[in-house]
Amino acid sequence: MSIKHSPLRRQGQRIIPPREVIVNFNSRKPKISFEFLSGDYSLSKCEIREKAEIIDSLYRISMHSWQELLVMGRKHGGCESLPLASLKCHVPDDFIFMGQKHATVFHNPGKIPILGIRVDDILFVFCIDRTFTAYNHGS
């Protein structure tokens, strides 16, 4: 959850100070940003079939709230969290400076993993792991 401030409002000659509003971002559906997606793990490296799979995955992800995705788990269309230190792909410096410690990973069995950093209700995608080399996927 995060605290957001409402804008200043006027009531006659008085200015009403902003009030704090608590926002539960887990109840919201994810917004997806590709702002940090580049290099070997970018969408431009994918074949047309892989791009279609990724768009299909992101569409399914966007139909659920963050809370639903967290409960679903990684093997059932949800997500998991991985330490940034365990990743072999480049993590944008912006997230290191923000103090982020974990990436959010979406991967259905047999599907291409999508890695990003969650900030509030936005998933900043920075890696499309089409070669399954961005982190240790286990044996």
User: How many domains does the chain divide into?
Assistant: 1
CA–CA gap between residue 113 and residue 115 (Å, rounded): 6
Residue 105 lies in a domain: yes
Residue 115 lies in a domain: yes
For residues 92-119, give the mean pLDDT.
88
What digits encode the pLDDT tens for the residues 37-75?
989 999 999 999 999 999 999 999 999 999 999 999 888
How confident is residue 111, by pLDDT bands cut at 50, 70 and 90?
Answer: confident
Residue 113 lies in a domain: yes
Residue 104 lies in a domain: yes
Contacts of 93 (CB under 8 A, 6+ apart): none
Residue 38 lies in a domain: yes
Which pTM value belongs to this model? 0.81
* Domain range enclosing 92: 29-128
Instruction: Check residue 76 and give its pLDDT.
Output: 84
For residues 97-102, give the mean pLDDT.
86
Residue 92: beta bridge partners?
A: none
